[in-house]
Amino acid sequence: MKIAVIGGASAFTPGIIEGLLAEEAVLAGAEICLMDIDSENLSIIAKLSRRMVEARGAQYTITDTLLLDEALTGANYVLSQVRIGGLAARALDEQIPRRLGCIGQETTGPGGFSFAWRSIPYMLELTRRMQSLCPDARLINYTNPTGQVARAVLDSGFDKITAICDEPFGMQVVLGQLLRVNPTQLVIDNVGVNHCGALTAARYKGRDVLPWLRSLSGPLAHVPGFVGRMARLLRRFGVLPSPYLLYYYYTQEIFREQQRQKRTRAQDLMLKLPVVYSHYREQAEQPKPRLRLRRGVPGHGDLAVQVIASMEARRNDRLVVNGRNQGVIAWLPTEAIVEVPSHVSSEGARLLPVPGELDAGLKELIVRVERAEALNVAAALKGDRQLAVEAMRMHPLVPNQQIAQLLVADLLEAQRRLLPQF
């Protein structure tokens, strides 16, 4: 078996290796091929990965390459975690909207639309190469914005894709910590689209724990900042909101906070990541690496690897993934990409209906975001500036037509070397 990791030099990759070590019983003997265009960081990550595997005596072979075709040839699974333009492009996605009075965020709103313009052409080329070099391989997509990427890939006719995001899994981990139980013992229901949805249930031994969590929301609602905002939305809607919903319901407060910050999140990461890679380089020399610094939360790679293991072993694991709606959420279009529980097997992910209702206002928000993102995917596929403006104007975080036009013009100009389709 061969698993190709595209974007293998990412600082997230050690988390993928940890996930592979946890699933060795299923995936032992696999070749893990790390592919990236960043030769320096690829060398660090490949060496660290080999050391992690050796330290556990695990039956994996780690290879690395700068050539996409070499990585794809003979692959059974392809895990994509690329960032076109790197953190420098992300910084522009965050800075330009702020300059025009909007939230500046990596995957949500104007910044997320710009990110999609860059990611979609690359992912379409990746799937074309897969059809030639590994036609039976399944694509596990972490490349953001994952919902828009999935829509573009599926619309192109490539259907062997399972798009994932570790946000619902991260919420499951936090709930497990609050309850002091293993997060894997929780069964969660998620409704919505990527980065715009909510957990409607979280069951432990068959009992929904969200009512207990709601009982705590009263006192927590008075806590300043993130915790208080999440608690207030929990009380308002009766479900555990995606943290990204804060951008929609506390727009002006968060915008003012962003304006007070000296650096964007991407600029912070550009300062921190060299330290992380230096730590990785040091640990790659140790007999038993211990990662004190890392990118992402512990367990980041678990979801991606669990998807692969469930497919390989036909386990039918219940996991939250992104896929074509096909009526699972009745109030969203059939062709929408939704983020809901699924059963994952060798045939891919079968999305599951989620019981219960959402607040009408929250549903209206999700519907509007989905429509805007669908239009933005069409703009990215066609390289259509006017369509991009229409999509931007439709998004709830963009206040008017004039700002939408300025956002599209400025983002396209700033990222033009990465956007040949426009």
Structural domains of the chain in order of their starting residue, each with its CATH number = 2-165+265-314 (3.40.50.720)
**Half-sphere exposure in the Cβ direction for 83 (13 Å, CA):** 17
| Percent of residues, the chain, with pLDDT higher than 70 | 99
pLDDT score, position 354: 86
pLDDT score, position 204: 95
Q: Looking at residues 352-379, what average pLDDT do you find?
A: 96
Q: Looking at residues 362-375, what average pLDDT do you find?
A: 99
Q: In the predicted model, is pLDDT for residue 419 greater than 90?
A: yes
Residue found under tokens 């998004």 = 395
pTM of the prediction? 0.96
SS3 33: strand
**Residue ranges in 75-144 assigned as alpha helix (H):** 86-99, 110-133
Q: Which pLDDT tens digit goes with each residue over 320-360? A: 999 999 999 999 999 999 999 999 999 999 999 988 789 99
Q: What is the mean pLDDT of the chain?
A: 96
CA–CA dist 32, 23 (Å, integer): 13
Beta strand segments in 301-361, E: 317-324, 337-345, 348-351
CA–CA dist 157, 127 (Å, integer): 10
pLDDT score, position 310: 98
As a dihedral over the C-alpha atoms of residue 253, residue 255, residue 259, residue 260, rounded to 10 degrees, the angle is: 30
Q: Looking at residues 78-82, what average pLDDT do you find?
A: 98
pLDDT score, position 222: 86
| Percent of residues, the chain, with pLDDT higher than 90 | 92
Q: Looking at residues 281-289, what average pLDDT do you find?
A: 97
pLDDT score, position 218: 86
Residue 72 in contact with residue 133, Cβ under 8 Å? yes
CA–CA dist 3, 105 (Å, integer): 31
Q: Read off the pLDDT band of 128 (50, 70, 90).
A: very high
Closest alpha carbon to 42 in 51, 33, 53: 33
SS3 329: coil
- Residue 254 gets the label, from left (phi > 0), alpha (psi -120 to 50) or beta, of alpha
CA–CA dist 110, 379 (Å, integer): 13
Structure tokens at 320: 């939250």
DSSP state of 85: T
pLDDT score, position 299: 64
Q: In the predicted model, is pLDDT for residue 301 greater than 90?
A: no
SS3 61: strand
Residue 364 in contact with residue 249, Cβ under 8 Å? no
Q: In the predicted model, is pLDDT for residue 250 greater than 90?
A: yes
Q: Looking at residues 293-297, what average pLDDT do you find?
A: 75
CA 288, chain centre distance (Å): 30
Other CB atoms within a 10 A radius of the CB of residue 28 amount to 12
Q: Looking at residues 2-17, what average pLDDT do you find?
A: 97
Phi, psi (degrees; rounded to nearest 5) at 151: -60, -45
Q: In the predicted model, is pLDDT for residue 296 greater than 90?
A: no
